[in-house]
Amino acid sequence: MKFALPQLLWLLLLVPLFAVFLLWAWRAKERLIAQFVQSRLLAQLTVGVSKTRQQVRLGLLVVAVGCAVLAMARPQWGFTWEEVSQKGLDIVVAIDTSRSMLAADIPPNRLERAKLAALDLMKLAKNDRLGLVAFAGSSFLQCPLTLDEEAFRQGIAALDVNIIPQGGTAIAETIQTALAAFKDGDNHKILVLFTDGEDHESGVLEAAQAASTKGLRIFTIGIGTATGELIRVADAKGKVDFLKDDSGNVVKSKLNETLLQQIAGAANGFYLNLRGANTMDVLYERGLAPLPKSEFSAKLMQRHHERFYWPLAIAIVLLITEMFLPERKKPGARTPTPTSAAAAALLYFLLSILCPISASASSATALKNYESGKYEASLKEYDRLRRERPEDARLAYNAGAAAYQSKQFEDATRHFSSATGARDPLLAQSAFYNLGNAYFQFGDTAAEAAQKQEAWQSSLGFYDTALKLNAADADAKHNRDFVQRKLEELKQQQEKQQDKGDKKQDDKKDDQQKKDDKKGDDQKPEKPDGSKPDEKQKQEPPKPDQPGDQKQPDQKKPDDKKGDPKQNQPGDKGGKDEKDAAQSAAALGQMTPQQAMQLLDSQRGEERALIFLPTNATQKASGRVLKNW
């Protein structure tokens, strides 16, 4: 229940004053009559007059005035959806949420200024459908195209620099995301891009030109100054410090107007700098208003049912009752209840007003199927109802719950995403919470690790949004921490698998080397009796001075003579004795220490450094330093 003119309800405060005035006037009349008429004569003149009836008439008058005030406020109870056709544009607003938008060269900072400008544009584009894209190192559709101003406003309020975990500024991907937000066949596609122009990816001009061929016009709004400003960030403890790059240098973000002008020129738009208070007025009057508008009937408006006639009818009945209720009792008649007629009329109208509205049979059927565990049947019924009432966020939420229970997690994410634009803050917060649950389950069923990681990262983002809308939600905090742990375990598992793969590759090289060595041993000359050296002799050389060991040919005792000029000279490799030992080891198929060192040196030459690449698919290995602002 609501009132069309709630400001008139303040008049109800005057009703008690009116009652006090009537009571004072009645008593003043009694005192004046007593002053001019003698008591004996007054008793004869007022035979049969009931003071109780007089007070009841005053009470009926007061209640009638209160009902009249309620009727003037126009109470409304219940509504129906009506489809309204109108002409307008389709405008997607893309806002940069990278950490460079924290620069305060435009107060309070670039991001907050961009959000205020987007709300100003919403006020100007009353008949246009608006959508919202948030982007940093990646991008996603925060709010689909809609005529619901409250849904767009809530999407703007949820933006901050932590809404996208991947740092950087990917404008090319943002253009693709915005283009995908438009339906096939839609005309007059508009993209308004709020950014400082610090693009860390290549191919943005090519993406703008390709989007222009598909009917997209891009208007760029530069936020910042050419001189730039240092970026201040707060750590987990709330300490504010300057943002630094990997080399430890302080980052200074500057507005890249040249790039933004090139993007706008490539997509048949123009560039404006967000300075002053009328930038959005200039954008709409010069760029958007002259464009031809297409007719669409996607807006469903709530037509509330007027109920003012109920309190008005009660007021009329009370006034008629007060008018015909006599002050004198009929002689010989039993004293009736003074308020019987008024109470009967009031009871009749109150019962009419409080009569419950019958629920929709279709909604009741879907709910009944859900409660009985028939989730797929419930989902089908909610899908049918959503096609009839696509703007009803409650149906989208219920459809998401049914899809979640039937293990159709991808459909659940789609329905819960539609419910995040609900006007009810509690319903919107619950939709973000369940959207995080659905993305986690969707990632848990994914076969590929990259897809699983991407879904879980999206789940964390939606849990964060739910906590921003309701910081006291213990379930959302618990689930977020759980998904965070699962994501860290997944990353550690991927690192272990990568290390294991490297180890297998090294073992494979060692096995190949052993095979080559064995092949060389098999090609040695046979003994005079035609047999090969036994395996034990090839693998383990006999130790000297042990019984039963065979002395090897050409093996000599090391020279004990001191002062030999050939001993321990550089490049001598240990002298003649070491050469003899090398020849003896070669005869046995063993590797000398020098050969082992050479083999290790050759293996080191084949080693490659492990290059870390971000798991985000939008990052490219382009040889540039990764910028996280």
Is 197 within 8 Å of 256 (Cβ atoms)? yes
Least confident of 144-148, 243-247, 438-442, 589-593: 589-593
- What is 82-301's CATH number? 3.40.50.410
> Strand, coil or helix: what is 117?
helix
What's the pLDDT at 340?
46
Most confident of 119-123, 160-164, 584-588: 119-123
Question: How far from 107 is each of 20, 153, 156, 244, 250, CA to CA, in Å?
Answer: 55, 21, 18, 22, 20
Query: What is the greatest pairwise CA distance in the chain?
Result: 165
Write the pLDDT tens digit of every residue in 456-468: 888 888 888 889 8
Asked whether the predicted pLDDT for residue 574 surpasses 50, the reply is: no
Among 299, 283, 286, which Cα is nearest to 194's?
Answer: 283
**CB count, 10 Å around CB of 276?**
8
Question: What is the model's pTM?
Answer: 0.41
Write the pLDDT tens digit of every residue in 323-332: 888 876 655 4
Confidence of residue 515 (pLDDT cuts 50, 70, 90): low
Asked whether the predicted pLDDT for residue 283 surpasses 80, the reply is: yes
What's the pLDDT at 168?
76
What whole-number distance in Å separates Cα of residue 394 and Cα of residue 51?
Answer: 56
Asked whether the predicted pLDDT for residue 236 surpasses 90, the reply is: no
What's the pLDDT at 539?
33
| Residues 6+ away with beta carbon under 8 Å from 30 | none
Q: Token digits for 520? A: 């060389």
What's the pLDDT at 123?
92
* Percent of the chain surpassing pLDDT 70: 68
Per 3-state DSSP, the chain is made up of helix, strand and coil in percentages (nearest 5) of: 50, 15, 35
Decide which of 10 and 339 is more confident.
10
Domain parsing of the chain, residue ranges: 2-74+308-327+342-353, 82-301, 370-493
What whole-number distance in Å separates Cα of residue 235 and Cα of residue 455?
Answer: 26
Among 270, 292, 172, 273, which Cα is nearest to 223's?
Answer: 273
Decide which of 228 and 192 is more confident.
192
Asked whether the predicted pLDDT for residue 159 surpasses 90, the reply is: yes
Class of domain 370-493: mainly alpha
End-to-end CA distance of the chain: 48
> Strand, coil or helix: what is 306?
strand
Least confident of 341-350, 410-419, 484-493: 341-350
Is 470 within 8 Å of 461 (Cβ atoms)? no
Most confident of 303-307, 460-464, 580-584: 460-464
Is 452 within 8 Å of 444 (Cβ atoms)? yes
> Strand, coil or helix: what is 305?
strand
Most confident of 345-354, 442-451, 562-571: 442-451
Write the pLDDT tens digit of every residue in 52-95: 888 888 889 999 999 999 999 989 888 787 666 667 888 999 99
Write the pLDDT tens digit of every residue in 363-419: 788 888 888 888 888 888 888 888 888 878 888 889 889 889 988 888 888 888 888
- The kind and range of the H/E element at 233 are strand 232-234
Write the pLDDT tens digit of every residue in 32-59: 877 776 666 666 666 667 778 888 888 8
What's the pLDDT at 458?
87
What whole-number distance in Å separates Cα of residue 121 and Cα of residue 115?
Answer: 10
What's the pLDDT at 486?
86
> Strand, coil or helix: what is 273?
strand
Torsion of CA 149, 151, 153, 156, to 10 degrees: -140
pLDDT, mean over the chain: 75
Phi-psi region of 210 (alpha: psi -120 to 50; beta: other; left: phi over 0): alpha
Residue type, 342: A
Q: Token digits for 50? A: 């009931």
Average pLDDT over residues 584-608: 54
What's the pLDDT at 390?
81
